[in-house]
Amino acid sequence: MPDDMVEAHIRGVNNALSAGWRVLERGGSALDAVEEAVVIMEDDETFDAGRGSFLNRDGRVQLDALIMDGATLRAGGVGCVEHLRNPVRAARKILSESPHVYFVAEGAEKFAAERGIVLCKNEDLVIPREVERLRSYQSELANRTLDHDGNDLFAGSPDDLTISHDTVGAVALDRNGNIAAATSTGGTLNKAPGRLGDSSLIGCGCYADNESAAASTTGWGEPIMKLVLAKWTADRIAAGNLPEWSAQEAMNYLKQRVNGHGGIIVLSRDGHFGIAHNTPRMAWAYKTVKKQDAGIIREN
């Protein structure tokens, strides 16, 4: 994330933390807490979720989200939705009110609308900052220099240009000892229409199981998907490793196995948690009954 966005990120994750904590404090569920925390970040234009998300190649916002309950393993996901301000709310409705787990595109929007969620115009989700970001990215792509054989050196890897990732996620543990996770994103800048990332796929960008851990990831989605990274990390915890170690191991695995980059937050049922990333920065905030902290830079 650029220097001038650091403060906004800190503020944003702290606001989300407060919203989630309020739910837990009054005895609410971890599931409700992660939903409320993610809604705050979807509503905050700072992040790549909800309004203010990165634009796809056609200049449209296309959103993915998943929410999962560690107590029951129920989950709800939406992919490629274009008319929902808060995709996590629709995902929650799927979790709570549908025998299915995943809806995409118009079907997801229809499902949401039938359950009282108001649809918006795609333009309502687009902000000028992102129009400009897409324009300058696409013009950089168009002006790329070719090598002496005439080959474009850009092979389609987001690593090749400076790309930030701004997906949002939350994990929580409630008084009843249940954990939950939620992740929401606008995906990657200039993605092809219809491209689905890791964020809303169970076990990739989000996972929760009381018997292992709740996890949410961010970063370049294709490598994360290939490793089913959130589940991979939860499995390490189920095998007896601490979340702090497992989160760091997940980042090492991501880098070494598929040259991926990103970040992860992970929480186990006994209240241990891990925060790790292999990018220069990631915004995070946590609160326990004993302690609260937030930060942004953990240089690796």
Interface residues with ligand ASP (CB under 6 A) are 48, 165-167, 185, 187-188, 197-199, 205, 218-221
Q: How far out from the chain centre does Cα 67 lie?
A: 10
Question: What's the helix, strand, coil split of the chain in %, to 5?
Answer: 40, 20, 40
DSSP state, residue 119: P
Question: In angstroms, what is the minimal distance from the CB of 222 to ligand ASP?
Answer: 7
Q: Is 167 a catalytic residue?
A: yes
Burial of 119 (0-12, 13-18, 19+ CB in 10 A): middle
Question: In angstroms, what is the minimal distance from the CB of 156 to ligand ASP?
Answer: 14
Tokens 């209240």 — which residue? 271
Q: How far out from the chain centre does Cα 56 lie?
A: 17
Between strands 75-81 and 102-104, the pairing is parallel
Of 35 and 48, nearer to ligand ASP (C-beta) is 48
Of 29 and 190, nearer to ligand ASP (C-beta) is 190
Enumerate residues 6+ apart whose C-beta is below 8 A from 139.
Answer: none
Tokens of residue 260, six digits? 């991926």
Question: In angstroms, what is the minimal distance from the CB of 232 to ligand ASP?
Answer: 15
Of 36 and 198, nearer to ligand ASP (C-beta) is 198
Of 76 and 79, nearer to ligand ASP (C-beta) is 79
Question: In angstroms, what is the minimal distance from the CB of 224 to ligand ASP?
Answer: 6
DSSP state, residue 52: T
Active site residue: 72, 145, 162, 167, which one? Answer: 167
Alpha helix (H) residue ranges in 190-289: 221-227, 229-238, 243-258
Question: In angstroms, what is the minimal distance from the CB of 123 to ligand ASP?
Answer: 21
Burial of 11 (0-12, 13-18, 19+ CB in 10 A): middle
Burial of 151 (0-12, 13-18, 19+ CB in 10 A): exposed
Of 25 and 160, nearer to ligand ASP (C-beta) is 160
Residues taking part in catalysis: 167
